[in-house]
Amino acid sequence: MVSACLLGAHVKYCGGHNHHAAVSALKEKAILIPICPEQLGGLATPRPAAEIKGGSGEDVWNGTARVLTVTGEDRTEAFKHGAREAWLLAETLGAQAALLKARSPSCGHGEVYDGTFSGVKINGDGITAAFLLSKKLPVFSEDELAHCEKWLSTGES
C-alpha cells in the first residue's frame, strides 16, 4: 500500500503531488496499492492545509490531539475516517506493508509537523500510519525506502 501522492497522483492538499521515482520503481518488485487517506476520509482536493495540534497521530486516537486546518477548522473525524478506510482496503486486499509520505498528518512515519504550520517537526506518526501500525501492518516512509526494500526481499527491516 503506497501513498498515492508518491506515485504522482494529484491528491495533495494543494492539488499537486509528491512523485518519487524510486517509490514508483517498486512496481517492478511488488504490487502497489495507491491510497490517499485524506480523500478516503471524504476531503476534497484541493483542500486547506491541516496539521495535528497537540501531539501526533497516536494522540489523536487517544483523544488528546486534534487535526486543524490553517484557519482553525477541525478535520479530526475526516482524518480518522480516512485511516479506517485505508485499513479496510489493506485488510481486504491483503496488503503486507505500507509505504507512506513522510511528515504528513495522515501518512507520516516517525515524525510529523507540530501544528503551528511553521515547519517544526515532532516525533510520532500520522493518523493513518498510527492506525495501520496498531493493526500490526509494517509502515515505512519514502525516507526509509532502503528499509522497505530490505523488508520486501527478506521480511526484515
Q: Which stretches of the chain bind ligand SF4, using CB under 6 A?
A: 3-5, 11-12, 36-38, 101, 104, 106-107
- Residue at grid coordinates 517509490: 23
Q: How is 4-32 classified by DSSP, letter by letter?
A: GGGGT-S-STTS-----HHHHGGGGTS--
Min. distance of Cβ 154 from ligand SF4 in angstroms?
A: 27
Q: Which is nearer to ligand SF4, 124 or 154 (CB)?
A: 124
Cα 1 from Cα 19, distance rounded (Å) = 15
Cα 144 from Cα 52, distance rounded (Å) = 22
Min. distance of Cβ 84 from ligand SF4 in angstroms?
A: 14
Q: Which is nearer to ligand SF4, 23 or 154 (CB)?
A: 23
Q: Which is nearer to ligand SF4, 3 or 56 (CB)?
A: 3
Q: Which is nearer to ligand SF4, 58 or 126 (CB)?
A: 126
Cα 127 from Cα 108, distance rounded (Å) = 8
Cα 40 from Cα 73, distance rounded (Å) = 19
Strand, coil or helix: 146:
helix
Min. distance of Cβ 88 from ligand SF4 in angstroms?
A: 16
Q: Which is nearer to ligand SF4, 57 or 149 (CB)?
A: 57
Min. distance of Cβ 54 from ligand SF4 in angstroms?
A: 19
Min. distance of Cβ 104 from ligand SF4 in angstroms?
A: 4
